[in-house]
Structure 1
């Protein structure tokens, strides 16, 4: 067995789809980079309920092992037994005794990749800030490097966690442009029973109020019942704790003939090929905005809230449109402008795809993750 093995640790079950597929693709690329150098590569999840197709015939070992719950002794034995020398952790803290345990077990490099969305949690007093500053400068208790998905998340790590700025690297999430090429494999109007003469306005996110789905619904009501835009249809993909409330809201707004709850889908790239506009109405501080760059890659004009890491992606009015979070009137106006103004829509489509190709390539993202272990 090699003496430079890697363990990649997911903080989600193996069968979790959509947004986590991007993380799994990074696991695959990083694992294969180690295997190509004649090392062993492992991915562990707290629950293994399904093996992602990407790992089939990859020679990457998939294991069920819960780093969040298991004792330090069990983790030590696991790392020692697998001869792990490199750790790649998703959304782990800047300071943890786990890192000391890992180093005792022989791990030489620990890299945390922070994909999380939340506020910038500033220390609320001088003492707390001083303690965080000290704790996050004790190498044996800290990761060697933290990769972050936006400048916003970097700021959160520097100002909120008091982690050294020089040990943080921004690695934007990326998309595979090839997956958005070609014609759609199915017709959305047929699949979701949408009248052929209606333009489809799309939204995909977890069914949670902080994703702003209620404002997407309210914008739909404004367009249908106040602006008389009966040429539009609203398609939502997602599921979650607030789904019943959203369904009730659609019913109360008398939108049943114009709105479809399509549930979760692992075919977002195919769905995007058949829509006219995409809305990303989040009202909390997103770490990034995968749906934004996926829409741009599919040449679909995107309307997004100017929040968190999403506020770094769009050049407003050039390759997308920003709205203030929680403003359904602004969402409705932006949708109508894009539907009415063909020139604006075409410009945004072209510029959006150009930006994704230049800045948000999944190949570049994966290579930078790989380089962080081999530099």
Structure 2
């Protein structure tokens, strides 16, 4: 009986770009796999490196393999063969990828094996192989509807928006950190978070320039930078802070496992992405924590933030517009509270993790039944 039940499950092979949980895409995948109905679906995951994502998936009893991925330019036939054999050995019914290189190799292997492939789009900027990869994919899941613009020649029925979900109860259970005591500031100092890897795409340099425009115009505040750093870009940011004489406003906390607890202690969040962002998961996390958000109009930010109700969406790479939106929140505590309440309500009503998982499972079954 047990063997028959196992044979009826849909075996899904997942590829993800990193073996750690530092990125929003990997955290979203982890939450999906943790909540997946294991009576219906049997996940197998391939990561390119060891890390805490691999460890956490294995702790859940999910078959997780570590295999370094090949790049496009390597044109590795052996990697295609390895994936094809894995599909056959594990009786895979469906493949789910999240980045171009593995989509290329897995897409060819899936075609050869006669199984459908889902490419999960988490970045808004087009890539040179988009047209080919869209042909290899059976369906493209997108973290925001606005990402349709990346695929102008792909039929609409092949593009499926599925915005990430948040488990608000789990988020509520995360403990506070006491970050004010840690960094040595009092309750009168406003705390603004900027969460994400320090890299050009995240646009922290425009936040620094916005802070220069705010300098001397408002009361005391600090910007908490939370995220791992790309070395050269971090040096560029630190140099810019010193040149503009705003380094005293910034505290670089690096990557923190307790970031959710820190978010709960912020006054508001800024997402300053300059390009490429599909939908920053931290926007939803801040709203779940009841915090207003100022974000740039990159990817799906405007699909989540209700302008003037839960936060503000401003043009990318525009320090003036960013500083004006920040100023409105810095100077109006009642507005901050109201935006936070409305943001929390919006996450509860529209971006629930359970609904996200249920939608994904339904689409898996539809793709299996229709074959496309």
TM-score with structure 1 length normalisation?
0.84
In 2, Cα distance between the equivalents of 1:97 and 1:233?
Answer: 45
Which residue is equivalent to 1:128?
A: none
In 2, Cα distance between the equivalents of 1:81 and 1:97?
Answer: 17
In 2, Cα distance between the equivalents of 1:29 and 1:111?
Answer: 19
Number of equivalenced pairs: 352
In 2, Cα distance between the equivalents of 1:99 and 1:257?
Answer: 49
Superposition deviation, residue 236 in structure 1: 0.9
Alignment equivalent of 1:63, drawn from 57, 62, 65: 65
Structure 1 unaligned segments of length 5 or more: list them. Answer: 124-131
In 1, Cα distance between the equivalents of 2:365 and 2:348?
Answer: 25
In 2, Cα distance between the equivalents of 1:43 and 1:14?
Answer: 10
- 1:255 aligned onto 2:260: no
- 1:6 aligned onto 2:8: no
Which residue is equivalent to 2:94?
A: 86
Which residue is equivalent to 1:27?
A: 33
Q: Relative to structure 1, is the Cα distance of residues 95 and 191 closer, same or farther in structure 2, using a 3 angstrom cutoff? A: closer
In 2, Cα distance between the equivalents of 1:136 and 1:202?
Answer: 36
Which residue is equivalent to 2:149?
A: 155
Mapping 1:136-155, distance limit 5 Å: 142-155=136-149
Which residue is equivalent to 1:360?
A: 351
CA-atom RMSD, angstroms? Answer: 2.8
Q: Relative to structure 1, is the Cα distance of residues 7 and 122 closer, same or farther in structure 2, using a 3 angstrom cutoff? A: closer
Which residue is equivalent to 2:120?
A: 113
Superposition deviation, residue 97 in structure 1: 7.1
Q: Relative to structure 1, is the Cα distance of residues 74 and 45 closer, same or farther in structure 2, using a 3 angstrom cutoff? A: same
In 2, Cα distance between the equivalents of 1:210 and 1:309?
Answer: 15
Deviations 1:168-205 (A, max 9, x none): 21111111212332684321111223344311111112
Which residue is equivalent to 2:336?
A: 345
Deviations 1:345-369 (A, max 9, x none): 2221111111111111111111111
Q: Which moved more, 1:307-316 or 1:66-75?
A: 66-75
Which residue is equivalent to 1:49?
A: 51
Q: Relative to structure 1, is the Cα distance of residues 56 and 49 closer, same or farther in structure 2, using a 3 angstrom cutoff? A: closer
Q: Could you say what secondary structure the match of 2:197 adopts?
A: coil
In 2, Cα distance between the equivalents of 1:308 and 1:115?
Answer: 9
Mapping 1:1-375, distance limit 5 Å: 2-3=6-7, 4-19=9-24, 20-30=26-36, 33=37, 35-37=38-40, 40-52=42-54, 54-66=56-68, 68=70, 70-92=78-100, 96=104, 98-105=106-113, 108-119=115-126, 142-157=136-151, 159=152, 162-181=153-172, 184-224=175-215, 226-227=216-217, 229-241=218-230, 242-375=233-366
In 2, Cα distance between the equivalents of 1:121 and 1:103?
Answer: 21
Deviations 1:138-181 (A, max 9, x none): xxx63322211111112322x0xx22211221111111212332
Q: Could you say what secondary structure the match of 1:364 adopts?
A: helix
Q: Could you say what secondary structure the match of 1:299 adopts?
A: coil
Q: Relative to structure 1, is the Cα distance of residues 246 and 97 closer, same or farther in structure 2, using a 3 angstrom cutoff? A: closer
Larger relative helix fraction: 2
Contact 2:293 2:305 in 1 (8 A): no
Q: Could you say what secondary structure the match of 1:262 adopts?
A: strand
Deviations 1:113-149 (A, max 9, x none): 21123149899xxxxxxxx5xx789xxx633222111
Deviations 1:44-69 (A, max 9, x none): 11122345564254221110134545
Q: Could you say what secondary structure the match of 1:13 adopts?
A: coil
Deviations 1:290-323 (A, max 9, x none): 2222111111111111222223222211111122
Structure 2 unaligned segments of length 5 or more: list them. Answer: 71-75, 367-372
